Amino acid sequence: MKIHADRMIVRERQIISQILEGGNTVDNVVRKPLKNSNKMRKREREKLSRTWPLHMMLLPAAIITFIFAYMPMGGLVMAFQDFKPYDGILGSKFVGWKHFEFMFQYPDSKEVIWNTVIISSLKIVFGLIVPFVFAILLNEVRKIAFKRTIQTLVYLPHFISWVILGAILTDMLSSKGIINSTLISLGIDAVPWLSNGNWFRFTVVVSDIWQNFGFNTIVFLASLAGVNPALYEAAEVDGANRWKQTLHITVPAMIPIAVVVGTLSLGNILNGGFDQIFNLYNTLVYDKGDIIDTFVYRTAILNGQYSFGTAVGLFKSAIGLVLIVISYRMAYKFAGYRIF
Amino acid sequence: MYYKTASYRAFTVFNYVLLTVICLSCVLPLIHILAVSFSASAPANSNLVGLWPIGFNFDAYAKTLNNPNFHNALLVGLQRTVLGTVIGMSIMTLAGYALSKDTGYFKSRSIYMWYFLFTMLFSGGIVPSYMLIRELNLMNTMWALVLPVAINVFNMVLLMNFFRAVPKELEEASLIDGAGHFRTLFSIYLPVSMPAIATISLFTMVMHWNSWFDGLLYISDYRKYPLSTFLQTVIVQQDFNKINIDVNELKNISQRTVKSAQIFIGTLPILLVYPFLQRYFVKGIILGAVKE
């Protein structure tokens, strides 16, 4: 760039001296440098519009994604085969829809799908209500330091893995654990939190909400931060008490984002939460607590029924995809929300 | 004013109490485990310990840290976290920068975008992934834990959004001064978006530290287990078939205080980065929620 600027200065001086000498016409003098700078500009523009470095930057990510995300999708043909690891995908025999038909006849897999839907629906519904109410309650706190402390601490469980949380919960909820011994000392019977099917579902839903409500409160608090304080003042002047203000100002301000969060979580209806269930369940509660993902892991990886496991997994992914597309459309229609 | 009425005052008291109780419920389980880990084994085993250790001692920690299997798993877990974060962040930063360009300038951008986003909507599931790792001969290697999760599309989009927030003028100035895209990324974009890079690195580190299932799936040699997988096998599943230990050690491991000490050491890295993590993630979430 420096050279370029120097050259410009030289040209300018030449032009000025030529004009002063009255030799060449202005036209002649000006044309030459114009040509040159056009060429240079073109070269520069070419360099600026070069996008191959961008393709190079995307190459590693594209390759990794191809190998570890798209190649397994190709592997889904296993669901239509009688896959034997020895024969490989290319050598295994095709059997059509056999595994899918078997899935719908096999009582265990029907039970598992049903469990998944129940557990995840409960998680979705209460996972929406609890942060909603919590955000309202937190919004009423006027001591900033108290509010900050609460917010900081309730996020914590979200970042701890289910291995740790599972270990802690199994310890605390066992028949002699701290929760049951407290209950007994209060004269209440011990509760089979993790060994009775219905209690297991209860424990799973409550502990999931416990882990995530703090984190899910963030979006609601963000939507409350955008409410115009003048609305509350006007309501105050009009004689509305705080409950009426909450009902008619705070809640309506949070409804759009609640609709978005609710519809988007529809795509999760076949995700019961593998990490959580796997670290909490035991053979006693398989009938009420086993979900699709844990079932697939046991049948395919532990028992070697690879094709059947793949078929169940494919069923789940396909339904999931359809639900996600529908819920995104709905979120856009109801709340004008677009992700992509 | 509304907050001077008697009923609102009553509500405020109730509200503060309720919020405190909820908040305590998020912290007390960890404190309970911590108290058990510092207690003598007799009161711990008979469930007498509440939130304060009884018979305070470091015995459980000494036993845990002297356990060669735990040692080894801790080391593998740290290795995995460092390697995974470095590889993942490098790949995601490069891709995030390229994707932050306008579609008008970088025409293939939307193709790439859909190529990545589709993997968020649909996946092959665990069986084909498991078969793939077997076919690639990556079983029992560190790469099986690092490469498949190297790209988190959500984090990549976050990075992209951070890069988009960098003033366009900086980029234009650097390109006109003759720097290429790589130079622009490393000399201009990276220095100004260090907070963003740090945030996403923390997210990635936490993800790697907490991951346990891939270890269980892709690694059969217990000596190569990362800490999370090790804890899952020993404490949650209590499956000692895979792990070669003598009777004495087994006795040690099954003690409640030792279990608690292991759990607490497993959580410690998260607690250490948590203050930094929580300062940034609120911002991150809101930024990520902004549509392109």
Which one of A71, A172, A279 has the shortest CB-CB distance to B132?
A: A71
pLDDT tens digit sequence for B56-65? 888 889 888 8
- At A28, the pLDDT band (50, 70, 90 cuts) reads very low
Which one of B151, B175, B213 has the shortest CB-CB distance to A275?
A: B213
pLDDT of A207 strictly over 80 = yes
Mean pLDDT of the B166-179 span: 87
Q: Among A120, A260, A314, A321, which residue's Cα sits nearest to residue B120? A: A321
* Residue B2 DSSP code: G
Are both A117 and A76 inside the same structural domain?
A: no
Decide if B92 touches A, using CB distance below 8 A. yes
Provide the pLDDT for residue A257.
Answer: 86
H-type alpha helices, chain B: 6-37, 41-45, 59-66, 68-99, 109-121, 126-135, 143-146, 153-164, 168-176, 181-183, 190-192, 194-210, 213-218, 227-231, 247-253, 256-289
Phi and psi (nearest 5°) for B97?
-65, -50
pLDDT of A174 strictly over 50 = yes
- At A36, the pLDDT band (50, 70, 90 cuts) reads low
A218/B282 touch (CB, cutoff 8 Å), yes or no: yes
Domain assignment present for A170: yes
Provide the pLDDT for residue B240.
Answer: 77
> Which of B18, B103, B116, B127 to mutate to probe the A interface, most A CBs <10 Å?
B127
Domain assignment present for A340: no
pLDDT of A24 strictly over 70 = no
How far is Cα of residue A113 from the mean position of the Cα atoms in its chain? Answer: 22
Q: B59-289 belongs to which CATH class? A: mainly alpha
Chain B: residue nearest A170 by CA? B236
CB-neighbour burial class of residue A97 (10 A; exposed 0-12, middle 13-18, buried 19+): exposed
Are both A218 and A304 inside the same structural domain?
A: yes
Helix pair angle (B109-121, A52-65), 10° resolution: 20
Interface of A with B in 150-169 (CB under 8 A): 150, 152-157, 159-161, 163-164, 166-169
Are both A12 and A108 inside the same structural domain?
A: no
Mean pLDDT of the B76-86 span: 96
How far is Cα of residue B72 from the mean position of the Cα atoms in its chain? Answer: 20
Task: Output the average pLDDT for chain A.
Answer: 84
- At B103, the pLDDT band (50, 70, 90 cuts) reads confident
Q: Tokens in use for B62?
A: 């000494």
Q: What is the domain partition of chain B in residue ranges? A: 2-45, 59-289
Q: What is the CATH number of the domain that holds A305?
A: 1.10.3720.10
Are both A210 and A141 inside the same structural domain?
A: yes
Residues of B in contact with A168 (CB under 8 A): 29-30, 32-33, 263
Judge contact between B253 and B105, C-beta under 8 A.
no
Q: How far is it, in rounded angstroms, from Cα A123 to Cα A272? A: 8
| Residue tagged 């896959």 (tokens) | A83
Domain assignment present for A67: yes
Task: Output the average pLDDT for chain B.
Answer: 88
Residues of B in contact with A331 (CB under 8 A): none
A149/B23 touch (CB, cutoff 8 Å), yes or no: yes
Provide the pLDDT for residue B73.
Answer: 93
B125/A310 touch (CB, cutoff 8 Å), yes or no: yes
Nearest CA-CA distance, residue A193 and chain B, Å: 16
In this predicted model, which residue has the larger pLDDT, A234 or A2?
A234
User: Could you give the percent of chain B with pLDDT greater than 90?
Assistant: 50
Instruction: Please tell me the least confidently modeled range out of A38-47, A208-217, A326-335, B8-17.
Output: A38-47
pLDDT tens digit sequence for B7-58? 888 999 999 999 999 999 999 999 999 999 998 888 888 888 888 888 888 8
Provide the pLDDT for residue A3.
Answer: 45
pLDDT tens digit sequence for A80-134? 988 888 888 787 888 888 889 988 888 888 899 999 999 999 999 999 999 999 9
DSSP-assigned letters across all residues of B149-208: TS--HHHHHHHHHHHHTS-HHHHHHHHHTT--HHHIIIIIIHHHTHHHHHHHHHHHHHHH
Q: Tokens in use for B225?
A: 């287990």
pLDDT of A23 strictly over 50 = no
Residue that finishes a domain, picked among A66, A94, A122: A94
> If phi over 0 gives left and psi between -120 and 50 gives alpha, with beta otherwise, what is residue A273?
left
| Residue tagged 């459309």 (tokens) | A329
Instruction: Please tell me the least confidently modeled range out of A7-11, A187-191, A269-273, B188-192.
Output: A7-11
Provide the pLDDT for residue B225.
Answer: 93
Q: Among A53, A182, A202, A286, which residue's Cα sits nearest to residue B101? A: A53
Instruction: Please tell me the least confidently modeled range out of A265-274, B19-28, B108-117.
Output: A265-274
Instruction: Please tell me the least confidently modeled range out of A44-58, B157-171, B198-212.
Output: A44-58
pLDDT of A310 strictly over 60 = yes
Chain A: residue nearest B292 by CA? A340
> What string of H, E and C letters represents the secondary structure of A4-55?
HHHHHHHHHHHHHHHHHHCCCCHHHHHHHHHHHHHHHHHHHHHHHCCCHHHH
Are both A224 and A179 inside the same structural domain?
A: yes
Q: What is the ipTM metric for this complex?
A: 0.89
Are both A85 and A196 inside the same structural domain?
A: no
Are both A70 and A131 inside the same structural domain?
A: no
Q: How far is it, in rounded angstroms, from Cα B247 to Cα A30? A: 95
CB-neighbour burial class of residue A93 (10 A; exposed 0-12, middle 13-18, buried 19+): exposed
pLDDT of A54 strictly over 80 = yes
Decide if A255 touches B, using CB distance below 8 A. no
Are both A242 and A139 inside the same structural domain?
A: yes
Which one of A71, A164, A313 has the shortest CB-CB distance to B126?
A: A313
pLDDT of A1 strictly over 50 = no
Total structural domains within chain A: 3
Residues of B in contact with A44 (CB under 8 A): 176
Count of alpha carbons within 13 Å of A190, Cβ hemisphere only?
14
Provide the pLDDT for residue B186.
Answer: 92
Which one of B32, B182, B236 has the shortest CB-CB distance to A279?
A: B236
* Residue A160 DSSP code: S
Are both A9 and A83 inside the same structural domain?
A: no
Provide the pLDDT for residue A51.
Answer: 83
pLDDT of B292 strictly over 50 = no
Decide if B25 touches A, using CB distance below 8 A. yes
Domain that holds residue A18: 2-48
CB-neighbour burial class of residue B209 (10 A; exposed 0-12, middle 13-18, buried 19+): buried
Q: How far is it, in rounded angstroms, from Cα B146 to Cα B129? A: 14
